Amino acid sequence: MSTLTYTPASIREKQAHFISREKASEKDWFPTASSMQHTTDSIQPADNRKRIVVVGGGFAGLNLIQQLATNPSYQITLVDKNNYNSFTPLLYQVATGFLEPSSISYPFRKLLRNKGITIRMAQLLRIDSHAQTLYLSDGELSYDYLVLAAGTKTNFFGNEAIEKNAIALKGMDDAIYMRNVLIQTLEKAAIEQNPIERKKLLTMVVAGGGPTGVEVAGMLAEMKNYIIEKDYPELVGAGGQIVIVDAQPTLLTPMSDKTHKETYEALVNLGVKVKLNTRVVSYENEQVQFSDGEIINAKTLIWAAGVIACTFEGIPQTSLGAGKRMVTDMYNRVIGFENIYAIGDISLQQTDPLYPTGHPQLAQVAIQQGTRLAKNFKAMARNKPLKPFTYFDRGEMAIVGRHHAVADLFKHKLHLSGFLGLLGWLFIHLISLVNYTNKIKTLYGWIIAYLTRDQALRMIFRPASRKEFISH
């Protein structure tokens, strides 16, 4: 899509247009398809298609795009800082060397090939809502409708020491970096002669008792119990431990009491030390300090204790809620804007009676919001009534180690664990991958890992300078 240029006069006209709309009656702000249409002006493409720009190609953004790709009423552009989609629930398996990056990632340009989608690999720097222009790291881009689906980033809660020294796990870059660090730490431990230093190298703390933290801790325990003794026989009996800590009284807090109990027991059986009702308050000089006063010497702290929504200049604080999420109406339109939407983890929608404080930040919510907004865009094109978003809770699940999984389905009405839980977890995650190439690679990797308690991906691949390749 070519970049459109505004003259000062056209900007003033556009600003005047929006000021007049703000003075309109309240009915113009809320949900009829006609009220959400824009007046055709001089910046409209020659074919009169409305321009939708989607920022973020995760679960929400990609699902929206795929359902609108062939609609003749819209011209769609995807903006993402990466050139690929990745299945984030399985990042921890890349980080621990059980899956290769390509098993859970796929390039946007191949995924959206021949669908008429424009792709911009860039970062969003600023939004000018009056001029309907985005300022990107590689130029400018105009829109009629803007959909923000950029998700979240790691929340260190303002603790600079933890942010500086801990390992986060939010994207593929983090996963590859974490894998490199873990393997390099084992290599250092293999040649370390001081038993105290060796034990510190082999001690790893996971902060956060949600799905990511639980699954990382389980995988690290599997590595310690079954893989290290094969690859590093000199480390047998060298000590070290895996510790998981959470401020809540249970692991996987939103799930059922059965899940809390089974998850705790599964981790303990794997040799993981579980600390509940406890926070990590500091991590400096390779010492993890907890809120209960305990200090553990550990070379590695993996931070999975929280996220915060990505924010953008041009979206005022008045439009943000808890966790910096953008507050939206029942149609996922950002409060204070007529043609800007937020879907997925970045959205805080409090209009659903079952979720008055907002929906959980889960993949299923993002997928369903993308689907509903796509249907509403189609309705707008036909001047049909819109439908509000309502979330259908299919359930939550997590896997602990190699063969224990827990699942609470349909608002905790059905609980699965053990082998049945494992089959359910494997099936749901497998079918959720974006294409058959990913499904086949991942299934093959899982079968080998399950049968052998091993994998062959413990190799260090790193650029000469990490900062050259990672955008923050």
CA atoms in the 13 A half-sphere facing the CB of 208: 21
Q: What would the two tokens of residue 398 be?
A: 């997590």
DSSP readout, 373-418?
HHHHHHHHHTTPPP--------EEEEEETTTEEEEEETTTTEEEEH
Q: Please give the biggest Cα pair distance in the chain.
A: 76
Which residues of the chain form CATH 3.50.50.100? 160-305+403-468
Q: What would the two tokens of residue 377 be?
A: 């865009």
What confidence score (pLDDT) does residue 24 get? 39
Pairing between β-strand 167-168 and β-strand 300-303 as defined by DSSP bridges: parallel
What confidence score (pLDDT) does residue 172 get? 94
Angstrom distance (rounded) from CA 470 to CA 92: 18
Contact 103, 441 (CB under 8 A): yes
Tell me the sheet residues that pair with 334: 328
Angstrom distance (rounded) from CA 367 to CA 388: 15
Angstrom distance (rounded) from CA 341 to CA 200: 47
What confidence score (pLDDT) does residue 242 get? 97
Superfamily of domain 8-81+122-154+308-381: FAD/NAD(P)-binding domain (3.50.50.60)
Angstrom distance (rounded) from CA 164 to CA 286: 12
Residue 171, number of CB atoms within 10 A of its CB: 19
Per-residue pLDDT of the chain (472 residues; tens, 9 = 90+): 333 333 344 434 444 443 443 433 333 333 444 444 333 333 345 478 999 999 999 999 999 999 999 899 999 999 999 999 999 999 999 999 888 898 999 999 999 999 999 999 999 999 999 999 999 999 999 999 999 999 999 999 999 999 999 999 999 999 999 999 999 999 999 999 999 999 999 999 999 999 999 999 999 999 898 888 888 999 988 989 999 999 999 999 999 999 999 999 999 999 999 999 999 999 999 999 999 999 999 999 999 999 999 999 999 999 999 999 999 999 999 999 999 999 999 999 999 888 999 999 999 999 999 999 999 999 999 999 999 999 998 889 999 987 788 999 877 788 888 888 888 888 888 888 878 888 888 887 877 777 666 666 666 666 655 555 444 4
Contact 28, 21 (CB under 8 A): yes
What confidence score (pLDDT) does residue 44 get? 47
Angstrom distance (rounded) from CA 89 to CA 433: 10
Angstrom distance (rounded) from CA 445 to CA 64: 30
In three-state secondary structure terms, 444 is helix
What confidence score (pLDDT) does residue 41 get? 35
Contact 213, 304 (CB under 8 A): yes
What confidence score (pLDDT) does residue 464 get? 56
Residue type at 407 in one-letter notation: A
DSSP readout, 93-116?
HHHTTSS-GGGSEEEHHHHTTTTT
Which residues of the chain form CATH 3.50.50.60? 8-81+122-154+308-381
What confidence score (pLDDT) does residue 454 get? 65
CATH code, residues 160-305+403-468: 3.50.50.100
Reference 74, options 378, 301, 365, 354; nearest CA is: 378
What confidence score (pLDDT) does residue 229 get? 82
Reference 328, options 362, 364, 355, 307; nearest CA is: 355
What confidence score (pLDDT) does residue 16 get? 43
Angstrom distance (rounded) from CA 261 to CA 282: 28
Contact 400, 294 (CB under 8 A): no
* pTM (two decimals): 0.83
Residue type at 288 in one-letter notation: V
